[in-house]
Structure 1
Amino acid sequence: MPSAAHDAALLASIGVRRGAPVPAPYAAALRAVPRHLFLPGRIWVRDGHGGYRPLDRAADPDAWARAAYSDQPLVTQLTDGVPTSSASMPSMVLYQLELAGIGGLARQRDSNSRDGIEAPRVLELGTGTGFNAGLLSALLGQDAVTTLELDPALTTQAQRNLKSAGYAPTVIEADAVAGWPPGAPYDRILATFSVDRIPDPWRAQVRPEGSIVTPWYSDWTAYGMLTLAVAADGAAQGRFHPHGSYMTMRTPNGPHAATRPPSEPGGPARRPDPDTAATAGTPATRTRLSPWAVSGDPDTEFHLGLTVPHTSYDWDTTGEHAPIRFALYGADGSVAAVDYDGQQADEFTVTQSGRRRLWDETEVAYARWERLGRPGVERHGLTITPDSTHHVWLDDPGHRLTAIQ
């Protein structure tokens, strides 16, 4: 069974990743909420080849316990080979709690209690295993925490997990896109999945000067964390932060981000064939922008995901069309293919078709990114007006880059 040594190993590995020891309140919460109590007997870990391998507690309890107390994400539900629920990397869980200022809320709770003022309240969206709700309960008190889970089986299991750890926050089976009005207003709303827009109900349910913290995603990449301060009129403003790659939001009708069906990072499920589309498109052209320049780097992909909207990509290395092909897919059916002939690495063949010229858009966006000094994720911000318009900006809210549709 896991022991104090496992706790110590987890805290040490998180400290190494952070570059500093885990702050005392969060370290105490991690010790008070044993991670193994929130994991099923079978979990899945990366196999190093793009897939997952199972670990069974009954078959190999030592390996299972080491994984449970490692600083890595663990898949807890696999459906048709695709992860549909997971236990997030503990360091990322703490990262989000720190971005949300949960430690400060804990101090505010103690002060409010002395003064007879209502304690701060937090709404978590996406209960999953219940581990994050357990940490919130340890930090703020279970009465301060409401958590929503769409999957009825996960809801029931999370309640059991929390009970086994000694906590009983409010756990509700519900669609997170609508939030939970009966418990509003909240001081914080935290999502454990990524979105590409902020649903209106979230802003409506946050107390003025409260905040929303959520992972972010675009069709280009799932990466980054957004913190938004909400004003009394419903407007919100904040910055993106690096790190974190989370599953997208799910609804009763299937996966989606905030308002539209998303593609998985790397592309939508149904794609036109670039060669078929190219026959109806414009003649092939040449480009000097390498497809390797626009993929693989988190800062590059994050910027392009915001400025070349509703566009995903993948790589074809089968050699069927070209030695290596980089393909772009627009949500409207537009397509572009950038082919490397295996010899000339300073110029590539481009074919494009559809309403949008996706590679042309990418070249323009990439050139602007370079002119702007190759900004990282942390230089980007988001403003949401009371009428729900989303504006992305760079460095300062006055320097707008684009509107998110």
Structure 2
Amino acid sequence: MSRTPGATDPPARDTVAAGTRAAPVRPRVPDAEWNDWRWHMRKRVTTVAKARQWIALSPDEEKAIAGAAGTYRWSITPYYASLMDPVDPNCPIRLQGVPALGELAEFPGAEVDPVGDMYYRKTNRVVHKYPDRVIMLVTEACPVYCRHCTRKFHTTDVTGTYFRDDEGESFDEDFRYIADHPEIRDVLLTGGDPLSYRDGKLEEIVAGLRAIPSVEIIRIGSRFPVLLPQRVTDGLCEMLSRYHPVWLNTHFNHPKEITAEAAAAVDRLLRHGIPVGNQTVLLRGINDDVTTMRTLMTELLRIRVRPYYLYHCDNVTGVSHFMTSVEKGWEIMEGLQGHITGFGVPQYVLTTKIGKIPLAQPYFTRTPDGLLLRNYRGQEMAVDTAAYPITEPDAR
């Protein structure tokens, strides 16, 4: 048996409206290889020549690839490449995977670390920003180096790494820090992408955390369900299920990424008791319109992924060209609230050095008599303090 990559997937969405596109001709690949995540990792697109096997590179894309050399890594899995429109450089998949000239431009206020990871780093891997939870930067490897990555500096070719020591160094110092701070009850594994490790190495990390009595929740931040869903095997899920409660947050940005293979990966996680949430980034030219975002959220619910955050794109060096205005984010949130089921509406946030700041506009205004309420249609209703007290009564 063999398959043409992408040929047996459901019709891809170049726009969010229902439609189809002809599957481009791809080299035939045996099913055993196409379904093996390690094959995809070995065959990642990392050169112009390899990219041309999948897409007709535009002159600007070729200039950007050359300009990014020695500064920013790039790679694309064959699976993710199969979702790219072969001729349209504005394809939302191409924009996320192929270097663009905007990465080389300078933007006001851009920083390599606007979220303060370096400031809050306590060990080689542990970043302790919030009282009861930490992140662990366990690797700098990813299957696809997303062009909009918040930690783009972490995956540069030159000096961009947050690791004080090599990522392969012992984890003992990291585990010891967490054990010595019993207020830490929640650990998020991130990087890079933790699922870049093979199951055995990943289990060593998860087991080390589970051995710490104060750690209640282990979370994994991974884009593998989107970029290479073949990685989410029954074996991986069975291993993770031995260390519950384990949660996984992933990162779908466009409806075109929700394929049958991605849905199957999510289903495997769920069947092993691993809840799946989604953290979308608001990206100019990719999902910065109400129709696309509404379709994305409803499609996520269809495959049983809970929308969690809508991140305002960070002003990261090499990423700023993806930023929209905050006003655009408000417009999109207004187009979600009330128009889809409540638990399908993510929280719109801006990540800063002082934490994640909710940016959603309020649906109420305080008045001398009580509250003026506004619904998603713009209709208003006044309620007075007799019906809904605003302040607690004087207890004296």
TM (norm. structure 2) is 0.28
TM (norm. structure 1) is 0.28
Which one has more relative contact order, counting CA pairs under 8 Å at least 6 apart? 2
